[in-house]
Amino acid sequence: MDYLAGLNPEQKAAVEQINGPVMIIAGAGSGKTRVITFRVAHLIRKGVDSFNILVLTFTNKAAKEMRERITQMVGPEAKNIWMGTFHSVFAKILRVEANKIGYPSNFTIYDTDDSKSVLRAILKEMQLDDKLYSVNSVLNRISAAKSSLLTPAEYQNNPQIQADDDSSKRPLLGKIYETYAQRCYRAGAMDFDDLLFKTNELLRDHPDVRNKYQHKFKYIMVDEYQDTNHSQYKIVKTLAAVSENLCVVGDDAQSIYAFRGANIQNILNFEKDYPDLKVFKLEQNYRSTQNIVNVANSIIANNKEQLKKHVFSEKETGDKIKIMRAFSDNEEGKQVADAIMFQRSTNGLNWHDFAILYRTNAQSRSMEEALRKNGIPYKIYGGLSFYQRKEIKDLIAYFRLTFNPSDEEALKRVINYPKRGIGDTTVDRIIVAADKNGLTPFDVVLEANRYIEKAPASLNAFATMIQSFQVITKNQSAYEAALHIAKHSGLLKDLYEDKSVEGLNRYENIQELLNGIKEFSEREDIEEKGLDVFMQDIALLTNDDKDKDKDADTVSLMTIHSSKGLEFPHVHIVGLEENLFPSQMSLNSRSDLEEERRLFYVAITRAEYKLTISYATSRFKFGTLISCEPSRFIDEIDAKYLELDFTAKPASSAGSSSYENERTAWTRKNDTYSKPKAATTPPVKTTSILAKAHVPSPDFKPSDTSNLQVGMQVEHERFGFGKVLTLEGNKPDIKATIFFKEIGQKQLLLKFAKLSIISGVE
């Protein structure tokens, strides 16, 4: 039992409880992965057959890391464990059992782009308004239905759903769902939601299959259980019904995916499903300093719906959490970039030690601009992945069509790429003929002269080429087959002949894909190495797995949702403003607001040593400059853990001695914040720890500034009261430099400034 010596008491107790239902509540940074891997290794050491263990994760990366650790502890037996993402594990089962629900074993897995393409075709055929029935909203509606295990018929026969669709003026959503499901079935394709939806169908309708896997998986572990949706919950509950040796691991405080169907009630109500449940709480955080952990605790304590725990850290106290205020989103970017430059140079850090987290992707613009101006290398995490590039998707479409000729989306993508004289009109005729005769489009292509009047000869050549690829894939390795298809499809030649910079990049990307397939072909840890197996692997990659450049020395920019599971020494959380974070949409209900607070908790707990939170007092939104109020979440943080940094100058006031003399500097004093006595302006009276935006005078009205003079006192509706220092330029583009009492010096263009003149020259 020496191998358990490195676990703390609660971790060890959770590992040793191998029988019956178990829930491990794992606080942020508490060694969750360590506990899961030790528990699986302990099962095997206690005599459990590794073939009877199922471990479900949410990323392939997590599964790979766990398997490597388990291998170090128990050796080759780790290879036999059924371990992977929900989608990859159940895709594997569906490959074996697909015929029972009418699918071929070589079914295609559609990604989001494929699904959208199918829906666009359906919307076009039904002549529906693509603004009312936008592809994204329709796909989200169908995804939600599948996650709730609603078939198209059940969807259309549900009065409440139909009433909702009628009120949104989209009464045909049910019909679209039905047609979409038919198209996927005809193409021998499943989308990501289908991999769970069809698994539920398989287990529900086929007792022999259900019994087979219930007795196969005698011990089940589920990671990140708080992120499971209804469909995943049902599968797990069904599979564990016989043995009830089910262990779920998660943290309700990190449940942040309700928008994609995750149901926090699955973890909150787990004890109702299993009354004899054993609960273990992992509360020691090994990642973050004490101050960071304390801040996270003070935030999440405001949520009413939670499983109570007290997370603590025995690491150093650490720096206080810095709160930075900027006067605009662009200035916020500059402050963050400056802070990163300073910390890196003074502490000898790398760029990859820093991460900038934001609520929405749109916030990256001001951050990117500031980083570029400072020459700071950065990467946007979760941007366009390698496998989403056009040239990669084109070659993969050839692979897909080779293995599944029924794949309509793959056929439409490559039938005329590279160009072979098969125009859109011909493709439309193929689709119509297929619908009319109950065939797949490739069936029509095979007998083009029979179904299409004046069919181009290139159709026959295309069909023959695909059939030749099918022969090649049966007789050659994954790499040899892929290289053959890349060459003989004409794709490789087409890219090679494009000598532009973009063309060369695309050609290099194809070479990189082929290199990856060659590496796959030479792996010793897998038995099946065919191109079809490689295809399934990449179809099931999560965003985290697709990132090819994650080890580069760059500052990481990402949404907070994308940051879950990651950690960084230095973290900047930006845009902490009301209606941005928390988002405006979250303010309609307590449950939505609590999810936003959990999202903030996740952001805070990504930081290991230093955490900085910033907000702007103004921000452009849809081309209009709006005033912003600091987020309520900042006020919820216990003030004793905070350091307020309101000393940054507006960009226009660099080098101003008057600004240096009168700038606002906040200091900590007796658990309240006030300005130093030396400051020339009185303290701001506020119930918050933060200075609020200026409230205009009741009679505020912009004045005619055509005769504005140096020395005049003015009021700005956002910046407050100030004194005109200089005027420069000619009408109508005169610029005024004004010192505002609350925020310091700013330079404004008079024709847009909307100033109210308070008094004459002093």
Judged against a pLDDT cut of 70, whether residue 281 lies above it is answered with yes
Find out whether 30 is annotated in a ligand binding site. Answer: yes
Across all residues in the chain, what is the average pLDDT? Answer: 86
**How many CA atoms lie within 13 Å of 227's alpha carbon, on the beta-carbon side?**
19
Integer Cα distance of 8 and 13 in angstroms: 9
10 Å CB burial of residue 350 (0-12, 13-18, 19+) is exposed
Q: Are 566 and 29 in contact (CB under 8 A)?
A: no
Contacts of 141 (CB under 8 A, 6+ apart): 173, 177
Active site residues: 32-33, 223-224, 254, 606
At residue 543 the predicted structure's pLDDT band, cuts being 50, 70 and 90, is low
Judged against a pLDDT cut of 50, whether residue 688 lies above it is answered with no
CA distances from 70 to 4, 88, 242 (A): 13, 19, 26
Of 108, 117, 53, give the one whose Cα is nearest residue 79.
Answer: 53
At residue 621 the predicted structure's pLDDT band, cuts being 50, 70 and 90, is low
Integer Cα distance of 651 and 745 in angstroms: 9
As a whole number of Å, the CA-based R_g of the chain is 30
What mean pLDDT is predicted for residues 597-603? 95
DSSP letter at 273 equals: H
At residue 62 the predicted structure's pLDDT band, cuts being 50, 70 and 90, is confident
Kindly state the tokens that stand for 314: 């025995």
pLDDT given for residue 541 in this prediction: 66
CA angle 290, 293, 296 (to 5 degrees): 150
Find out whether 250 is annotated in a ligand binding site. Answer: no
What mean pLDDT is predicted for residues 158-176? 92
Chain CA centroid to CA 392, Å: 22
Kindly state the tokens that stand for 489: 């499809």
Q: Are 327 and 620 in contact (CB under 8 A)?
A: no
Judged against a pLDDT cut of 80, whether residue 206 lies above it is answered with yes
Chain CA centroid to CA 418, Å: 34
Residue corresponding to tokens 């358990």: 4
Integer Cα distance of 506 and 103 in angstroms: 35
Cα dihedral 671/673/674/676 (nearest 10): 80
pLDDT given for residue 30 in this prediction: 92
Q: Are 384 and 547 in contact (CB under 8 A)?
A: no
pLDDT for 544-553, tens place per residue? 554 545 567 8
Chain CA centroid to CA 425, Å: 38
Integer Cα distance of 440 and 594 in angstroms: 48
At residue 747 the predicted structure's pLDDT band, cuts being 50, 70 and 90, is confident
Kindly state the tokens that stand for 225: 């259980």
728 or 278: which carries more pLDDT confidence?
278
Task: With both helix axes pointing from N to C terminus, report the angle between 364-373 and 329-347 in degrees, rounded to the nearest 10.
Answer: 50
pLDDT given for residue 762 in this prediction: 62
3 state DSSP class of 642: strand
Q: Are 59 and 85 in contact (CB under 8 A)?
A: yes
Residue corresponding to tokens 């098969």: 422
pLDDT for 129-139, tens place per residue? 888 898 988 99
Chain CA centroid to CA 324, Å: 26
Q: Are 383 and 86 in contact (CB under 8 A)?
A: no
365 - beta bridge partners? none
Integer Cα distance of 343 and 571 in angstroms: 12
> Residues of the chain with pLDDT > 70: what percent?
90
Find out whether 33 is annotated in a ligand binding site. Answer: yes
CA distances from 678 to 648, 666, 692 (A): 18, 11, 21
248 - beta bridge partners? 23, 222
642-651, 656-665, 668-677, 716-725 — most confident range: 716-725
pLDDT given for residue 306 in this prediction: 87
Find out whether 28 is annotated in a ligand binding site. Answer: yes
At residue 355 the predicted structure's pLDDT band, cuts being 50, 70 and 90, is very high
Integer Cα distance of 505 and 495 in angstroms: 9
Integer Cα distance of 734 and 645 in angstroms: 33
pLDDT given for residue 356 in this prediction: 96
Contacts of 672 (CB under 8 A, 6+ apart): 639, 689
pLDDT given for residue 186 in this prediction: 92
Find out whether 542 is annotated in a ligand binding site. Answer: no
Contacts of 291 (CB under 8 A, 6+ apart): 317, 318, 319, 320, 321, 641
Cis bond upstream, residue 418 (ω within 30) = yes
Judged against a pLDDT cut of 90, whether residue 241 lies above it is answered with yes
At residue 522 the predicted structure's pLDDT band, cuts being 50, 70 and 90, is confident
Of 60, 634, 13, 679, give the one whose Cα is nearest residue 325.
Answer: 634
> Residues of the chain with pLDDT > 90: what percent?
54
pLDDT given for residue 223 in this prediction: 93
Judged against a pLDDT cut of 50, whether residue 687 lies above it is answered with no
pLDDT given for residue 676 in this prediction: 31
82 - beta bridge partners? 54
Torsion over CA: 444, 449, 452, 458 (sign): positive
Phi, psi (5° rounding) for residue 37?
-65, -40
What mean pLDDT is predicted for residues 33-52? 93
CA distances from 311 to 6, 29, 162 (A): 20, 10, 45
DSSP letter at 579 equals: B
Kindly state the tokens that stand for 566: 């990651």
H-run or E-run covering 19: none
231 or 382: which carries more pLDDT confidence?
231
Find out whether 26 is annotated in a ligand binding site. Answer: yes
**How many CA atoms lie within 13 Å of 670's alpha carbon, on the beta-carbon side?**
2
pTM listed for this prediction: 0.72
pLDDT given for residue 661 in this prediction: 31
Q: Please, where are the H alpha helices in 354-475? A: 364-373, 390-403, 408-414, 424-437, 441-446, 448-451, 457-475
DSSP letter at 682 equals: P
Find out whether 29 is annotated in a ligand binding site. Answer: yes
Judged against a pLDDT cut of 50, whether residue 677 lies above it is answered with no
Lowest-pLDDT range, 448-462, 467-481, 503-517? 503-517
Integer Cα distance of 633 and 497 in angstroms: 55
pLDDT given for residue 685 in this prediction: 32
What mean pLDDT is predicted for residues 360-379? 86
Kindly state the tokens that stand for 365: 């613009």
Integer Cα distance of 606 and 391 in angstroms: 35
Integer Cα distance of 340 and 553 in angstroms: 14
714 - beta bridge partners? 722, 757
Of 584, 508, 28, 733, give the one whose Cα is nearest residue 312.
Answer: 28
Integer Cα distance of 743 and 77 in angstroms: 65
- The identity of residue 163, as a single letter, is A
